Amino acid sequence: MKFAGTRTLVRLVLALVAVAVAVLAVSGCSMLQNASKSDTAKSKVGDCINVIEGSATDSKTAPVDCSDQKAVYKVAAVSDKKADCKEEQTSYEETLNGGTTAFLCLSPNFKKGACYNESQTTGYKFVACTAPEASFKVIDRIDGQADEFACDASTAIGFRIIPDPKTTFCLGNPKG
């Protein structure tokens, strides 16, 4: 026995099943791709990163609350492909099987009173001010200004300027 509209109902059910399968396939692939990324690579713009161990090829990093002294970097841009970071930013690239799985542009997020190690090959790392590897101490952080002249010339021995968002870091001797 056949009922009126059965074919339409069957077609509707099959269409809904096909849509559900397609959605699961797409989200499943996305979940598998994200599963291969580290917690750092899953970061979003505005998140902060701690550099546990710097390396030119295999840094050890971890997301951290931006208010933490160890929040050395703030994520400024995120991409699945290699992109050019701004001059004042550090690039972070994560690869798997020869392909880039994440590319981040990181801006310094130094804290007033904290000390850091600076390396040409590995970037910045939070360190104790008494540590022999301490390169500088942040003697002042001025949010909302990108102006080297905002630093007190009698105490600052250097500065870092971040144009977006405007931030001036006044740097001093870590031992002083």
Tens digit of pLDDT for each residue in 12-28? 444 444 444 444 444 44
* CA atoms 68, 125, 95, 36: torsion sign: negative
pLDDT band for 130, please (50, 70, 90 cuts): very high
Task: Indicate if the pLDDT at residue 7 is higher than 90.
Answer: no
Residue 36 is predicted with a pLDDT of 55
pLDDT band for 83, please (50, 70, 90 cuts): confident
Report the chain's mean pLDDT, rounded to a whole number: 79
Highest-confidence segment of 44-53, 68-77, 84-93:
68-77
Rounded-to-integer distance, Cα 37 and Cα 101, Å: 7
Residue 143 is predicted with a pLDDT of 95
Are the CB atoms for 26 and 10 separated by under 8 Å?
A: no
Helices and strands: H and E segment counts in the chain: 1, 10
Task: Indicate if the pLDDT at residue 92 is higher than 70.
Answer: yes
The alpha helices in 86-144, defined as continuous H runs, are none
Give the mean pLDDT of 125-142: 95
Lowest mean pLDDT of 1-15, 54-68, 105-119, 126-140, name the range: 1-15
pTM recorded for the entire structure = 0.71
Q: What percent of the chain stands above pLDDT 90?
A: 42
Rounded-to-integer distance, Cα 62 and Cα 147, Å: 30
Task: Indicate if the pLDDT at residue 103 is higher than 70.
Answer: yes
Burial of 165 (0-12, 13-18, 19+ CB in 10 A): exposed
Q: Which residues contact 116 (CB under 8 A, 6 or more apart)?
A: 72, 110, 124, 125, 126, 127, 134, 135, 136, 138
Residue 15 is predicted with a pLDDT of 45
Task: Indicate if the pLDDT at residue 99 is higher than 80.
Answer: no
